[in-house]
Structure 1
Amino acid sequence: MSLKLALLVLAAVICTVYATGSSSSGLSYSYIANRPCYVKRISYGSHDSESAYIYNGDDVTYTCNSGYQIKGSAKVQCRSFGRFSAPSCVKIPGCSRPSNSHFPVGMQYSPSKPRYNTYEKLWLSCVDGYSLKVRSSSDESIRCLPSGKFENVRAYCVPKCRALGDLENGSFDLDKDKYDVGDEVTYECDAGYELEGESVLTCLKSGKFDHDKPECIPELCPTPATIDNGFFNDEQDNYPVSTEITYGCDQGFELVGTSDLRCEIGGVWSDDFPFCEEILCATIPIDNGSFDPDQDSVVVGQDVTYECDEGFVLDGEKTLVCQAYGQFDEEAPECVPIRCEFPGEIDNGSTDSENDLYDVGQTVTYSCDKGYDLDGEATLTCQNDGKFTPDKPECNPIVCPSPVEPKNGRIKGKRTTYRPNNKIWFFCDAGFELEGKKDLTCLSSGNWNSEFPTCVPSGCPHPTAPSNGYITGTKPSYKAGDKIWFKCNAGFSLVGKKDFTCLKNNIWNGKFPICKEIPSGCKAPPGVKYASYWPRRSSYSVGASVTYKCYRNYVLIGSDDITCGNGGSWAPGSQKCVRTTSCFGRCYKYVKGARCDCDIGCKSRGTCCRDFYGICH
């Protein structure tokens, strides 16, 4: 059917509607007058309507792409009989912002804005590290042409050479952050160092110097001489100026010459290398005795052993050792006539004599004070070797053995040692009672007057709170019928029985529970058919929320948002998406705040859904 014929038919229908109140096809005048408008698309632009159709009185706003402007009204309203007139987008005169590819490397321009007028200029410059090169001053800018494009760039940017940094142990003559093409830098080293590399570097057009930066390496001294029976510290691969070394000798040798040497400028050592000589100790003869080995001297570390003739005894060290400084570690001993020295007094006791010296065969007798007992022989005799035998005895106090603290109990009156007449008292912890004598006394025989008592249970044992938990209903002691309850701290759950009762046989009626940590956070939320959620992650922390959204033509029943709670559970639940084949899901019966119906009577009540004619009719 041609457009002209369609318009004639439409006009006839409208006239019939005006005359009769209805069309020949059964459509009412109200329906035709309020039919929806098709939202047209426009070239180089877009509109803000989410639907392809809008209804009488609704409006749509059009916008144009960058470089275009609206021709006509930007906001268009749907009028009666589906009348709708969309605007168009026309190109704006001038140039848009040029792309970076329009300019050579290192170049920038100003001003920077989205649009430029015809013949407006962009002024060219180079970024830091480059310098602008032009043939004439006119090359310093480009213009926006009537064609809507900028002129070609005729200038270019030449890179500068970056500073190579300080020269360690040296210096250079031209210090800049950036160097122009042709700049020369001359390097030289401090005293004691020599230059390795080129001394003069030139900046090239490539933005790099013609050679790498040189280095100042130290002047070196020859490797120090190795000496027999000696050494020097700080051995290394090379020895630069100012290096110091110290020579030393092995045990039994001494250094001849200077021990400390230094590498001087010019690569020479400050003195000749030393050498090591062996150290000897001269032996010392004694009267009424001899020594071994029988020679005039010995080397460092060698022993000399002395012994006396018969009837004499050594006074001093028997063995002397030659030391690194050429002397023995002790003075030479003497051989004196054999006599026994007084063996000494004893604590808490006495002797029958206290002479300084005793002849062979003489005796010394010991006895103990009251309250002490002699440990060893009472009488000692002076022997031919100048010593008393047997060993000197000791007087030990008469003491009772240390008491053993009872399990589940304690002792009062404890001390380091227990002498005769000392007393101790025994007590039991809550829930236990004493079996045996309560107080004991240390006797003069060194024994207690009774066996140590024990603590036996007087009820159920005291319960121990679980790790990360606690107990309610605790008491100092527990008798048959007493109850306790176990609980866990926040973030932990009880594994096992919660409440316990003390039985008549003094045991609890079960095994105590433990507190297990509740996992923190949640896994992915439950999926809802015909819906997606956001944000999507593999795990979520406590307190995190996700939002469900149904697919097109579906509506969500239940809460949009759910939250991760303690224990790894999501709440609230029971979400589902139902298909919107009618006004179901958008009527007041199903969605809070909705005020629409979708039945035959909604037309007379004026409560039809907004899209009633498009979906329900």
Structure 2
Amino acid sequence: MTYRLLIGRLGEFGSTVMLECSTGFYLGVGHRTLRCLANGTWEGSDDPALCKIISCGELPTPPFGTKLGTLTTFGATAIFMCNHGYTLVGSHVRECGADGLWSGAETKCLAGHCDSPDPIVNGHISGDGSSYRDTVVYQCMLGYRLIGTSVRICQQDHRWSGTTPVCVPITCGHPGNPANGRTNGSEFNLNDVVNFTCNKGYILSGNARAQCRLNGQWSNPLPVCKVVNCSDPGHVENGVRQSGLHYPEIFSYGVTVVIHCKRGYYLLGSAILTCQHNGLWDRPTPRCLAISCGDPGVPPNAVVSGTHSWTYGSVLQYSCLPGEVLVGNSTRNCQEDGTWSGAPPYCTGASPGLCGDPGIPPHGTRLGGEEFKTKSLLRFSCEAGYNLIGSAER
């Protein structure tokens, strides 16, 4: 027994102590606290509480077994054994603790040969028999599959047949990547989902997603990534198309087409077209337009005959009014570079004060009227996309 000071200094008048017991003992009936009186005695010392050893009570002997040990107080142990043909279930050795309880689990002797079957992680066992020829069945939780034998039998040698199976996650494995595409996802177990995408310039044909099923198979096969095709850009009038493709031409992503114009025509737009990943050409189809030399005008007192289209290959014929003589070339041709051949002719004896028609440059316009007398003013401008070279006013 020990003392614990509650009030004052030990041994002085008015001090109070509490009686305490060692581990495994408890205070019985009587005074548990003592107080120092003025006469030098302890109040309550005539009937102090005493420490008594803790008892855990009698442990019964299990049927079909024996128990070694008769004590039931703190620190006492009991050892259990089962008769031949019976299996001990629970604790083989139990000890009386300071809390008044026996350690371990209740001991039983069951008629059987085998111990409890080994547990299985992520699964459960059906069947609770352990006698000779009793069976247990192992099953896995949802999302897992059994590796090993699902049924085990209690044998005559007190062992369960076979080995303990294991439950492993159901997995479908990586489904692979579609050609010219990829699989997105890092988990491939039951109910996991992967998504399929195609590389730039390819379009998905098939299912874009798949889910891992209970049978370990993906719900959908791998899709196919088909190359994107552009529509036929067509043939340009008065032009020649070159693609380097064999017949029949298929204009897939990345294919380029080159357009050339025939002689006498010029290209308006881009000469190279490229099929893009969205199935559209990167530029609009160009056009081949006839080369024009423009209106060359009419010299004073001259007459111009021939075609009036002023395009490549056109021929103009010059002559003078009666009484005039033509000086220079009598014909002029529209050339491939967009200019007229030779210099403009003129007629001798021209009326003073007349300059004649100066013409209109190709892709240009003229303002100022149709009179070409002295002090007449003409203004020239170009179409959008063209720059004026020369005088803007004459």
TM-score, normalised by the number of residues in structure 2: 0.40
Greater percentage in helix? 1
TM-score, normalised by the number of residues in structure 1: 0.28
Identify the structure with bigger relative contact order (alpha carbons < 8 Å, sequence gap 6+). Answer: 2
